[in-house]
Every structure is written in C-alpha cells, then in structure tokens.
Chains A and B, each alone.
Chain A
Amino acid sequence: MGIDVGSITTKAVLMNGTAWQGVLRPTGYSPRQAGREAFGELLDKAGLARAEIDYIIATGYGRISLDFANKAMTEITCHARGAHHLVPGVDMVIDIGGQDSKVIFTDKKGNVTDFYMNDKCAAGTGRFLQVMAAAMGVDVSELADLARGREPVQISNMCTVFAESEAISLLAEGVERGRIIAGIHRSVAKRVAAMAEKIGKGELIAFTGGVAKNEGVKECLARELGREVIVVPESQLAGALGAALLAREKLLKARASSR
C-alpha cells in the first residue's frame, strides 16, 4: 500500500497484483490522523484486515508522521513512478500539490533523472489557488469553469499575499472575475513552465497532483510549454499509486532474493 499525506489531501492506494484502488480525504490539522484514517478507510473498502497488508510506503509532506509505514519515500520518487503507470512512457511530470510544485524528469521507465522544486513559499501551488478562490468568493473547484474562454488579465505578483491584494484591487477596478481567474491560472502555469525549462523539455508530459484537476491551469501549461499536457482522472492519486508500486516492487524483490 502507498499512503501520500499531502498538505491539503491525504491519498491511499492499495495494490493487489496489478489491480489497484484508492481513497482520498482531507488532511486537516493532523497528518498522522489523516494517514491512519485513509489507511482504515481503504482497508474497509477493499474488505481486508491490517495483517493482510504486506508493505506500506508513506510519502508526501506528512510521510515521517506515519509510524505504521514500513518506509518513507519522497513524493518526487513516488510521483514519477505513479505517473509512469498512469501514462506509460512519460518523461516529464509536473506535479502541483497543496504547498509545492515540482517538475520531474524521468528515464521513461518511472525512475527520476532530475527534478526541480519551488522554494519555500506557496507561490504557484494549490494553496495559492485556494487563497485566490477565497478572494474571488468561489470554491477552488469552480475556478476552471469561471475562467473558461476568458481573456486573462495580467497578474504580476507571484507571492500569494501580494497576488491576493492585486486580485482584490482588480475586482475593485471592475475587472470581470473570470478574466482575473484566467490570469491567475496563467501566472501559475508561467511559473511552473519557467521551472521546467530550467532543466529541459519533455516529450510526453503528465500533470499530477491536486491542481491537475483544474483544466484552466492545464490549458495554460500546454500553451506555455507549447506541447500537449496529459491529465488522467486518477492524477491526484499518482503519488500514492507510485508509493504502492514501489512497495510491491520491494516485496517482489525480497521474495525473489529469499527464494
């Protein structure tokens, strides 16, 4: 099993042979609690007992808080592996989660060859979109619809705090909400694209993490990078799936060597 405790959402994926299933729940204030609950929920869903789980890998920012996991691995390694499973042959993974964004390059077999991660601030992350959505008086899930087909307005600030006040002044000037949101999407995409181009250009690009659910950001990313960006419905689970795949690999390897 793989458990990905993100800053906003906790994800768990169970692998049974090659079949897999997953659950998601909000992380809330306690990553440890969220991890335990996601674990329990997934066991119930699969109709399995704790003892039937052979190996657990924890990932995400809360990975160290899960004392029942067999191993902790970074979300960078796990997202690469998970994205490769969801989009075979992928060589560039853009992962935008709740508190950070990453561009990961792989060897097309799911192994990381290079990566770039944003610095310690929330600029261009899921949290950034949440703050902006709140300023616009909407839910983060409504952003893409509101921005569809709108001409993006220029948002100059990348800092979450400054960008929020910039967006509020734009609203005060009477700029239409959809255009501001489109501008926000574009600024997130520009930042990530700049990060990506620092290390290279991928051939097949997958977009994972919670922000991948936002179609507006996805379209802007494709425009900025000048290439197609693939989002599959399970994108948010990519980290947990990668952790589960690595856990299975670990088991298979252990079994092979004990034979």
Chain B
Amino acid sequence: MRPESMKIFDDLRGQNMVVLESAKQSGRKVVGMYCAYCPQELVLAAGAIPVSLCGTRDEPIADAEKVLPRNLCPLIKSSFGFALTGKCPYFYFSDFVIGETTCDGKKKMFELLGQYKPMHVMHLPQGADRPGALSWWKEELLLLKAKLEEHLGVTISDDDLRAAIKLSNSEQLALKELHELNKTDPAPVSGLDLLTVSFMKDFNVDKSEGIKLIKQLTGEVKEVIRQGGSPFRPGTPRVLLTGCPVGIGSEKVVKLLEESGGSVVCFENCSGYKTLDRPVDEDERRDPLEAVAERSLKIPCSCMTPNEGRLELLGRLIGEYRVDGVVDLTWQACHTYNIEAELVRSYVRDNFDLPYLHLETDYSTSDLQQLKTRVTAFIELLDKRWT
C-alpha cells in the first residue's frame, strides 16, 4: 500500500550527497540554511544550490555540549555539533551559511558558528505587525543579497529573482498538494512518510528534479485514494502535530503517535505546512525582493510577538483536516514554543473543544517509556472505537 516512490525518498539523502559533490566539483556554489525565514529564492537567484543543514539528530549533541551549555534546545546543539564535528556533509560543502536572529539560543550560537564558515546572520523584526517591520526585513534581504553577491562573486538581477520565485513557488505548491491529500479520512500517507518527503526535499540539489519526484508521488497517492487505500484502519484517531520542527532523527514523537494507534495527518510546524501556506506574490509589476520579504515575514513562528498567525493557521487546519486531537511538541529549553503552548492549549479548547497534549522532550531516547505512556493514553482517549 505504501507508494512506490517513497523508496526513492528513503534513499535520497545518500544520493543527494553524491550529486552535491559532483556539482561542487563542476564549480557550483553551495549555500547552507537553517530556517524557514531564510529566503531560498535569493540563493537560487544567485545560481547557488540552497541546502538545509543538519540539526535533527542526537549523535553530535555530546560534542556540542563541550562548547555549548547543556540546558539548550537539542536543535541548536545538534546543528552546532554537526558543524563542529564535520559530520554534516552539507555544512562541509557549503561556501556560505545563512542564519537568522530567531531565538536567543540560535543567534548566540551563530556567533560561535561563524568561526567555522563564512556566514551572515539576518536580523528579523520581533513581530510582523509593526509599521516598520516589513521595510526592516526588506532591508535585511537587500543586505543578504549584497553579501551573497560578494561571497559568491555574482550579480543578482530582478529577473533572476523572479525566475527563482517561480521555481521556489512551484516546489512549495507541489508539496502543499501532497500534504493536503491527507485531508482524506483515513489518511493515505502516514505521518512518518509525509515527514520523510518534507525533510528530504530540503536536501535536493536539483529543485526541478525534486519537484518532479514530489509530483510523481502525489500521483501515486491519488491512485491510493481512488482505490480507497490507507496505511490506517477507518476510525484511526487523526492527530495534528504543532510546535517545534521535526526531522528525520527527531521523529520519535511522530513514530510513537503512529505506533500507539494514531495517524499524524497534518504537521502545522515549520518543517510541515506552516511554510507551504502562502506562495510569494509573482506579480511582475512588483519589486520581487519586497514580495519575498512579505511572504517570509508572515511565517507564524513563536519567535515573533504576537504570533496570532499560528492560532489562525491552526484553526484552519483543524477544520480542514478534521482532526480528533492536537499534539504540541516543544524541544527542551525552547522557551518561545514552551510558553506559547499555554495559548495554543486554551485556543484549541475554547474554540474546538478538542483534546490537546503538550509534550516537552529532546532528541534522546532517555524518556521514551514515559513519553510512550503519555502518547498512548492520549490516543486511547481519542479512540472512540473502544467505548
């Protein structure tokens, strides 16, 4: 029942590495990114290959803790550890790295990371709703553009940027269409598979090839739906996952939810739907840089205050995906998501009367048993087939 193309996605990481290496040898430049706020359109317009840098695995955390405090979120520690130990090939191949001042932990970590690679840290506004926010952010994009031009030895024209916007938008649209197929009940794609696809696309060297592959998978999934197929039995509790980003290596909560009899139908987080919601405006009469700035500033991340966009998006997704419960994942020591959980809890309760589970954990397996009890109990309470 699992779509054939999923196998290709499973093996993509190893393959991408080979492709990346040969692209490097032929003179292509590589730019490493960490966050959804990073405008990959500018990197594409510079003719460089944008890649996501590793930060979702537990392995390098022990090494990172030799430098960073232990009481820090695993995503920051993992990202830093991967760079420090040279175990992230994407970091290794990067000619230039882009960071953003999202949370305090990240922005200070980037100061240390700058010792290892030429990098630029973009300054985000604290919120999207102030009069000067958009013009500030646009200035930051202009500065990044200048930095990219300087470090990569290129000039980025408006036409380059417009072409990059089209490419980036079509990738986003392709992924969005796939995600939205899970509005079907029971879901045709498991949460783990959906996560694999979303995660792997960030390591694609050739965007057009990547988009083709996503579309191929979407076609197969549509066929699965047509035949009434699903990895889940009818009545399987449908869960929406929100909170901190999740990737391969940090998928333990997704795995537990599905092993305990649930189906993660929707990822609201920035590794999922959050960044697929709005495309960049392609209107030819507009300044393309401003259009890029406008779109990324609207990403509802907890580092923004206020962050009402997240609740608005959650509300829409809860309805569209007809979910039975909401799970909010906070990585340990991620203050912004941890505190915002209180707002999410009451929003989900008061507006939808849906069960809500807040989990705080890290990438390690140390709390697996306790997590399993929580997650299983949550699925038991959602599962109406029992009582």
Contacts and interface: CB of A to CB of B under 8 A. Distances in A.
B377 A74 contact: yes
Contacts of A75: 373, 377
A100 B376 CA distance: 16
Contacts of B360: 119
A74 to B, nearest CB: 4
A113 B387 contact: no
Given A111-B387, A113-B355, A120-B366, A77 B373 contact: no
B367 interface: yes
A61 B377 contact: no
Interface in B330-387: 355-356, 360, 366-367, 369-370, 373-374, 376-377, 380-381, 386-387
B370 A77 contact: no
Nearest to B345: A199
Given A74-B380, A112-B380, A119 B370 contact: yes
Size category of the B interface is 10 to 19
Main secondary structure on A side of the interface with B: mixed
B387 A249 contact: yes
Interface string A215-235: 000000000000000000000
Interface in B190-215: none
A171 B380 CA distance: 46
Interface string B286-305: 00000000000000000000
A73 B380 CA distance: 8
A61 B369 contact: yes
A112 B381 contact: yes
A114 interface: yes
A76 B366 contact: no
A207 interface: no
A246 B383 CA distance: 14
Contacts of B366: 120
A117 interface: yes
A76 B369 contact: no
Contact of A111 (B370, B374, B376, B381): B381
Contacts of A39: none
B355 A74 contact: no
Interface in A113-127: 113-115, 117, 119-120
Given A61-B373, A75-B377, A249-B387, 10 more contacts: A61-B369, A73-B380, A74-B373, A76-B373, A76-B380, A77-B377, A100-B370, A112-B377, A120-B370, A246-B386
16 contacts: A61-B373, A73-B380, A74-B377, A75-B377, A76-B380, A77-B377, A77-B381, A100-B373, A113-B381, A114-B356, A117-B370, A117-B373, A119-B370, A246-B386, A249-B387, A250-B386
